[in-house]
Amino acid sequence: MKVQILTNEYPPAIYGGAGIHVDYLSRELAKLCEVDVRCFGEQNLKNGSLTVTGFPLRNEHFSAPKPLQAVFGAAQRCLDFNAVNIDADLVHCHTWYTHLGGIIAKMNYSIPLVITTHSLEPLRPWKREQLKGGYDFSCWVEKTAIEMADALIAVSEDAKKDILKFYKVEPEKILVIHNGVDLEEYHPVHAPEKLIPFGIDLAKPYVLFLGRITRQKGIIHLVNAIEHMDKDFQIVLCAGAPDTLEIASEMQAHVASLQKRRSGIIWIQEMVDVPTKVALYSHAALFCCPSIYEPFGIINLEAMACETPVVASAVGGITEVVVNKETGLLIDVKQGENGSYEPLDAQKFSRDIASNVNILMKDPERRKKMGQAGRKRAIDQFSWSAIAQKTLALYQTLV
């Protein structure tokens, strides 16, 4: 069998969980079948049964408004994916950026279409800030692709419910396959030298956030929670790749204001490499994930694999990863009628984040037990090899 994978992100151009997913899944699948990855960029890799080809953006003649250029760039790459002959048995798409490519491949090459839903556009209304009218296109192309797909992979049971809520899809076409973690790569390490360049005080414990600056990740709610947190620990925000200039400015203003009133707030604005991520997770006393929408939440799993307890919002797939009071603490979030939008009471949500963080930061022994339980859960439930085997089994039902 030969599989065609279409993706926006692929190393070294990774900024989110979907890219991490495709990276590890493609490598594991290549141990089982031939895999041809086509992605946005200039990658060129051949490693055994894995081939990766990047398709660069050709935007020298673009004169459309800047928010729309990302949309037209995605459509351009989707055409380019297909203009280079596809000889695979099926096509597997990740994120709306590649859905048009999957539609074209299914119709022109007469091969089955598989889609993994890492998130759904109707549940991310803040994307209009980033894409403007292009958000209407992303919603349309996602709906069209999902409803014509031969099979769908949801990364959690909650994500499956969302698919059925927003799209006309037969339930039997949806298979839940969780994300995973590389347990040889993500494990507890002692690497203080990775932390010193960022100004982290190794003598004081710290709470860690690691993720993109986006409404979805709830980063602004966490920043607002800091003023309610105890003063005897540090807060490390490893947060970059802002969705828009507006949220970047909002983040900058909030953090700068807090840093004037409290010491120990460290903002790492770069996207760090995996060894640095592992060191940040491993040395953290606690990991905090305040997402308001999260189909899975791979960052929580990475933290757990590094024996770090988690405080996270009880939304989406997070509740299938973090076991409340066993591997961390979950925070209830009351949301609007559409489910995963902003909290109805943002101030209460921020205070609840702070309260749960304070509880665990006062109890080192409890944190240690939770960290150990988290590592065990990651080992028992979330290996990439098992995920690749389940994915291949799905492919085999279609070919």
pLDDT in tens, the chain (399 residues): 999 999 999 999 888 889 999 999 999 999 999 999 999 999 999 999 999 999 999 999 999 999 899 999 999 999 999 999 999 999 999 999 999 999 999 999 999 999 999 999 998 888 888 899 999 999 999 999 999 999 999 999 999 999 999 999 999 999 999 999 999 999 999 999 999 999 999 999 999 999 989 888 999 999 999 999 999 999 999 998 888 888 889 999 999 999 999 999 999 998 899 999 999 999 999 999 999 988 888 999 999 999 999 999 999 899 999 999 999 999 998 766 554 457 778 899 999 999 999 999 999 999 999 999 999 999 988 989 889 999 999 999 999
Pair (42, 164) in one structural domain: yes
Tokens 């760090």 locate to 272
Same domain for 234 and 366, yes or no, is: yes
Q: Which residue range(s) make up the domain with 305?
A: 192-381
135, containing H or E segment: helix 134-148
Sign of CA pseudo-dihedral 149, 155, 160, 163: negative
From the CB of residue 298, how many other CB atoms can be counted at a distance below 10 Å?
25
Widest pairwise Cα distance in the chain: 61
- Are 125 and 53 members of one domain? yes
Residue 140 and residue 41 in one domain: yes
Q: Same domain, yes or no, for 27 and 158?
A: yes
Give the predicted TM-score (pTM) of the model. 0.81
- 84 and 137 in a single domain? The answer is yes
107: CATH: 3.40.50.2000
Sign of CA dihedral 247, 71, 212, 369: positive
Q: What total of structural domains would you count in the chain?
A: 2
> How far from 78 is each of 98, 159, 349, CA to CA, in Å?
6, 25, 40
Is the separation of the CB atoms in 322 and 310 below 8 Å? yes
Whether 60 is in a domain gets the answer: yes
Do 236 and 128 sit in the same domain of this protein? no
